[in-house]
Every structure is written in structure tokens, then in C-alpha cells.
Structure 1
Amino acid sequence: MEPKIVYNEDCGNSPKTQLLKELNIAGANKNTNFITRHISETICCEVVGGEKIHGEKDVINTIKQADPIIQLEINNIITHGRTGAVNGTISTENNSYGFCHVYNFTGAGKTAKIKKITIYIIEE
């Protein structure tokens, strides 16, 4: 069953904004093919106060093993140059989490890949 996705219709006014919206939806759907196309092979994901995941393969394995998401609500997407951020709420069968993901890209261009994600997450 696919998760319910909730977001503002104006979340697609720039290529990077659209990419971050689609990337978060792909994560909720465990669409690892989409994610792999948009992250660097040397990506680093850091959960603040938790683990660091290095490399495309480990990031994809972590996504595959995560609890299924039943709802993703995206509240805001902000991008500028080589950085971007998305915040909202993720719900699983048993828990709900507020999150903010801060993205660093390999460059400022619209085809730049994601090289680092800093993840802030708290159970609600």
C-alpha cells in the first residue's frame, strides 16, 4: 500500500524544489531507483544525535529496511544555490515524527546530485 502524500501545490516552483519534493516522496515509497539517480555515490547522511550513513549503497539499504511510511506531509521546501531543506511529518503504523532534512548538493546547477543530508527527527 502506498503512503498518503500531503503537500502544498506550490511546492514545485523551481527545479530543486521539485526534486526535493519528489525525493521525499520516493523515500516514502521506497523508490530506490529514483533516489539513486539523484544522490552522489559518496553521499553522507547524518541523523543529528544518531548515526552517520556513508555511501550510496548503505543509504539505499537503510531506506529498504526502514519501517513502512503510511503518510508523508511536506510543510515547506526551501532551496538556494547548493543547499535545500524540507520539513514536515512522517507517520508509520505505530509512530509519528516531525522532521527537517537539510540537503547539500554537489553544485548549484539544476542537475547537481545530493552529497550530504543532515536529518533532524523527533517523535511527536
Structure 2
Amino acid sequence: MPEISIEENCGNSPRKQFLSDFCVAFCERNEEAILSMLTDDVRLAIIGEKTLEGRQSVVDSIDLFVEGVSEITVENIITHGDTAAVNGVINDDSGDTHAFCEIFTFEGHTKDANIKSIDSFVIEMV
């Protein structure tokens, strides 16, 4: 399991806490928690590679994101309305570093709305 670092938030943003919890659940491969945070028809677009549809497909993709990863540092969680972005740095077991940005769309504006779509961007840093 990768080590994950997330800067503490102010505590006044339920959506930031939700996304922080989602990142931790993903790194810990906590399928039950992840499934509870996604809509049934969630879409995950891994930009430049493929698009996955449905909750179980997203859960089945966890290894694509965390296998061989030693550390993930979440630098920013930004929320506005029904959209949010999380970005940071990934260090893998071979010493390579990648920057990532995930764009989330929620099923609504309420604090308990689930994730409807994720656009995932990852680039190697040189």
C-alpha cells in the first residue's frame, strides 16, 4: 500500500474531506468505501488510455493507479459547486515521479452527493 500524504484542510469543507477520504480509500484498496462514494453509472476516463463505466469497473481499476506506487502526495483539493479537482505527485517503486490531476463531477451540489465522473490525468515528470 502506498504511503499517502494529504495536507490537513480547514474542516469547513465537507466535500474536501470527502475527497480526502476517497483518496485514502483508493490507496488502501478499500473497495467498500470506494463503492459507497460512487454513483452506479460513474465514468472514469483515464485520459489517453481508456474510459471505464460503472462502479465495479472503477473498483477493478484500483491496481492501475496504486500498483508499484510507493508514495502519493496530494497537494491541492479544490471544490466548487458540483465539481472538484485533486492534484499532486506520485512516486513509484522504481524511483520515477509522476504528476497527477483528477477532475471530479458530483451528482449534485449537496455535501453528500456521490462522484458521477472522474477525469484522470497523469504525466511523467522529468
Going from structure 1 to structure 2, the CA distance change for 1:71 and 1:13 (only over 3 Å counts) comes to farther
Which position in structure 2 is the counterpart of 1:34? 33
Deviations 1:16-60 (A, max 9, x none): 000111111111111111111000111000011110011111111
Give the aligned residue type for 1:78.
I
TM-score of the aligned structures, taking structure 2 as reference length: 0.89
SS class of match (2:78): strand
Q: Among the aligned pairs, what percent are the same residue?
A: 33
RMSD of aligned residue pairs (Cα, Å)? 1.6
> How many correspondences in the alignment?
123
Q: Which deviates further from its counterpart, 4-13 or 87-96?
A: 4-13
Deviation at 1:64, TM superposition (A): 4.3
Give the aligned partner of residue 56 of structure 1: 55
Alpha-carbon contact 2:9-2:17 (below 8 Å) kept: no
- 1:114 paired residue number: 115
1:72 aligns with 2:72: yes
Residues 45 and 53 of structure 1 are in contact (CA less than 8 Å); yes or no, is this contact kept in structure 2? Answer: yes
Distance of 1:68 and 1:11 partners within structure 2: 32
Distance 1:4 1:11 in 2: 22
* Other-structure match for 1:15: 14
State which drifts further: 25-34 or 99-108: 25-34
Q: CA deviation at 1:13?
A: 3.4
Residues 7/37 of structure 1: CA separation in 2 closer, same or farther (3 Å cut): same
Does 2:104 align with 1:103?
A: yes
Deviation at 1:92, TM superposition (A): 2.5
- Where structure 1 has 5 or more consecutive residues not aligned to the other structure, the ranges are none
For the 8 Å contact 1:6–1:73, the answer to whether it is kept is yes
- Does the CA-based 8 Å contact 1:12-1:21 persist in structure 2? no
Give ranges in structure 2 of 5+ residues lacking alignment. none
